[in-house]
Amino acid sequence: MRIGEIAALVGVTSRAVRHYHHMGLLPEPERRANGYRVYSVRDAVLLARIRRLSELGLSLDEVRDVLADDAGRELAEVLGELDADLARQEEEIRGRRRRLAELMTEPLPPEGPVSPTLARLLRAAPDTDSAMAAKDRELLVLLDTAGGGEEFYEALHPLLEDPGVLSLYARLDELAEAAADDPRVGPLADALTAVVPEALLDAIPEGDGPPVPEGVGAAIFRDFSPAQAEVGRLVMEALGRMRKRRTTKTDGKKPE
Amino acid sequence: MRIGEIAALVGVTSRAVRHYHHMGLLPEPERRANGYRVYSVRDAVLLARIRRLSELGLSLDEVRDVLADDAGRELAEVLGELDADLARQEEEIRGRRRRLAELMTEPLPPEGPVSPTLARLLRAAPDTDSAMAAKDRELLVLLDTAGGGEEFYEALHPLLEDPGVLSLYARLDELAEAAADDPRVGPLADALTAVVPEALLDAIPEGDGPPVPEGVGAAIFRDFSPAQAEVGRLVMEALGRMRKRRTTKTDGKKPE
DNA sequence: CTTGACCTTGCCGCAACGTCAGGGTTTCTA
DNA sequence: TAGAAACCCTGACGTTGCGGCAAGGTCAAG
């Protein structure tokens, strides 16, 4: 047999046969004077085993190992972990399809696909063209992608649905060109601090170190005007104090 | 933010971020004087969308396309065919796992994993150390791999389980060194022809052309001694005559 | 004599990065 | 103040299982 014949017989391509030679799965057979490979029935049988094994999903390396120890000992073992691997893949695909199905039933927000929980939150939020609100949404999406926040979306619902919050956004927007010492900064920071729900306190602090790796915070603040940044700083400070008071009061929850 | 920070924030590696730059998914940001990339929140938001989309299983090319037309129009379409693709993959994995399960319940023949039908046939065959029988088994495995024969394994069951067939194999083995004109050749060919079941007639002929691509037949016959090859030739000839008689009798079954 | 169907070797391409190699920068620590 | 740790940079190769192409040589038929 020549290579095309053995390939057709077993149901693979000539190219694959040569590849198996190259990988050491199938020994190089004799050559005819013109250089053509000549295959025997024994080669075909071996090639057939290679095809069957690789069709089951074994990698060529695994196929080589299985063929090497001709007892069925290793085969059973490999097949076992192969099945486990396939089970894992199947589960993963199902997970992806679940997420896909969720995405396709609900209209997805313009920010792109996000977790269904956040999608509901964003849909519930009132429509606005506030620049600050847009940034907030972006940060929420970021947090969502980072896998962070799921747990306090609940706490945010009353906030985002509250039309009163829109006026706070408006006041922030008004500071888009203001300096850090603008007189409106202080009162706005107080007003914002007042509406931040308890749940956020858990999210922000996280000990002594910066909650976000420094550069991230800097990047966020760089999008703000000096006045807006100052408001942010003040709110963060106030939240830090609130947290400290709370932890000293309730104390040793997780002494670790 | 530097690259490591944005990567950690969004949950990918720095290498992936650079890769997305290279692929044109994420625009190259400004550099600091030392050459470091500096990222903004906007970059992080975009990177987050990339991660989400690619996690759903979109290829980077698809991600780029989806990001390009910022309406959700194309996205829905892509998600649709993605789901179809995943469904296909899931079905394929299930098929492989089914085959695996079959293999692992029954003890598998030393020839390696074969179709369950053939596995049953091989297990039913009596134990023997006849060289000819071994070759027969090999050819059956080959046929099985080629997807050929499933249909007449049934017909072979009575043959392979018949201990009387062992004596035929023995007589073939005795011709391992014999010449083509050995007197035992003729009678043995007749005996063999007599036991070949009807069902095989459908498998062998298949029209005028050689049933197997010439070189394959040659390879099979090269494993035989001259006497054995002669027996094979005679049996094939007889089968051909039988087939022709049958087709002229029942005739126009499939005039096409 | 010319197709056309084979065969040969060898090398690039793919998808989404991981992983060096071989440098420079910044920052913490002794 | 020096050295080490932890970053950053570019560039290039490795992964998997072949497909496809280039640039030939071989062989049977028309």
From B49, B166, B29, B213, select the one nearest A39 (Cα to Cα): B213
Per-residue pLDDT at A238: 85
Domain boundary among A12, A45, A68: A68
Q: Which of A51, A101, A220 sits opposite B145 (nearest CB)?
A: A51
pLDDT (tens digit per residue) in B98-129: 988 888 887 777 777 888 888 888 888 888 89
Residue A59 lies in a domain: yes
Whether residue B207 sits in one domain with residue B150: yes
The phi and psi torsions of A31 (rounded to 5 degrees) equal: -115, 150
B14 contacts B7 by C-beta, under 8 angstroms: yes
pLDDT over 90 percentage in chain A: 42
User: Which has more pLDDT, B147 or A127?
Assistant: A127
Residue B151 lies in a domain: yes
Stretch 58-97 of chain A: residues touching chain B, C-beta under 8 Å:
72, 75-76, 79-80, 82-83, 86-87, 89-90, 93-94, 96-97
Residue B213 lies in a domain: yes
Residues of B in contact with A111 (CB under 8 A): 45, 49
When the pLDDT of each residue in chain A is averaged and rounded to a whole number, the result is 85
Q: Is A219–B40 a contact, with Cβ atoms under 8 angstroms apart?
A: yes
Domain boundary among B18, B40, B68: B68
Taking the Cβ of residue B103 and every Cβ of chain A, the question of whether any pair is shorter than 8 Å is answered with: yes
Cα gap A256→B165, rounded to integer Å: 78
pLDDT (tens digit per residue) in B239-249: 778 877 766 66
Taking the Cβ of residue B41 and every Cβ of chain A, the question of whether any pair is shorter than 8 Å is answered with: yes
Total structural domains within chain A: 3
Residue B141 lies in a domain: yes
Whether residue B240 sits in one domain with residue B143: yes
Whether residue B165 sits in one domain with residue B97: no
Residues of A in contact with B1 (CB under 8 A): 215-216, 218-219
Per-residue pLDDT at A195: 84
Per-residue pLDDT for B152 more than 50?
yes
Cα gap A25→A11, rounded to integer Å: 17
Task: Give me the residue label for tokens 């296909």.
Answer: B88
Quote the minimal CA–CA distance from A113 to chain B in Å.
Answer: 7
Q: Give the structural domain span for B17.
A: 3-68
Q: Which of B 27-56 have CB under 7 A of nucleic chain D? A: 35-37
Residue B8 lies in a domain: yes
Whether residue B114 sits in one domain with residue B38: no
Whether residue A228 sits in one domain with residue A118: yes
Per-residue pLDDT at B184: 94
Whether residue A173 sits in one domain with residue A206: yes
Whether residue A61 sits in one domain with residue A131: no
Residue B193 lies in a domain: yes
When the pLDDT of each residue in chain B is averaged and rounded to a whole number, the result is 85
Per-residue pLDDT at B202: 65
For B128-147, what is the mean pLDDT?
Answer: 89
Residues of chain A with pLDDT under 50: 205, 207-209, 251-256
| Nearest nucleotide by C1' position to the A17 CA atom | D18
For B174-196, what is the mean pLDDT?
Answer: 91
Per-residue pLDDT at B125: 85
Whether residue B240 sits in one domain with residue B124: yes
Taking the Cβ of residue A179 and every Cβ of chain B, the question of whether any pair is shorter than 8 Å is answered with: no
**What CATH number is associated with residue B37?**
1.10.1660.10
* Residue B256 binned pLDDT confidence (cut-offs 50, 70, 90): very low
Per-residue pLDDT at A211: 61
pLDDT over 90 percentage in chain B: 42
Q: Which of B45, B101, B110 sits opposite A138 (nearest CB)?
A: B45
Whether residue A168 sits in one domain with residue A93: no
Per-residue pLDDT for B252 more than 60?
no
Residue B255 lies in a domain: no
The phi and psi torsions of B35 (rounded to 5 degrees) equal: 100, -10
B38 CA to C4 C1' distance (Å): 61
A34 CA to D27 C1' distance (Å): 10
Per-residue pLDDT at A254: 40
Per-residue pLDDT for B42 more than 70?
yes
Domain boundary among B12, B42, B68: B68
SS3 B39: coil
Residue A255 lies in a domain: no
Q: Which of B1, B45, B100 sits opposite A83 (nearest CB)?
A: B100
Q: Is A44–B8 a contact, with Cβ atoms under 8 angstroms apart?
A: no
Per-residue pLDDT for B209 more than 80?
no
From A123, A128, A197, select the one nearest A156 (Cα to Cα): A197
Whether residue A55 sits in one domain with residue A151: no
Cα gap B49→B127, rounded to integer Å: 64
Per-residue pLDDT at B8: 94
From B209, B195, B174, B186, select the one nearest B239 (Cα to Cα): B195
Taking the Cβ of residue A51 and every Cβ of chain B, the question of whether any pair is shorter than 8 Å is answered with: yes
Whether residue B123 sits in one domain with residue B91: no
The DSSP H or E segment spanning B234 is helix B226-250
Per-residue pLDDT for B94 more than 60?
yes
* Residue B198 binned pLDDT confidence (cut-offs 50, 70, 90): low
Whether residue A56 sits in one domain with residue A9: yes
Cα gap A30→A40, rounded to integer Å: 9
Residues of B in contact with A219 (CB under 8 A): 1, 39-41, 44
Per-residue pLDDT for B16 more than 80?
yes
Per-residue pLDDT at A209: 45
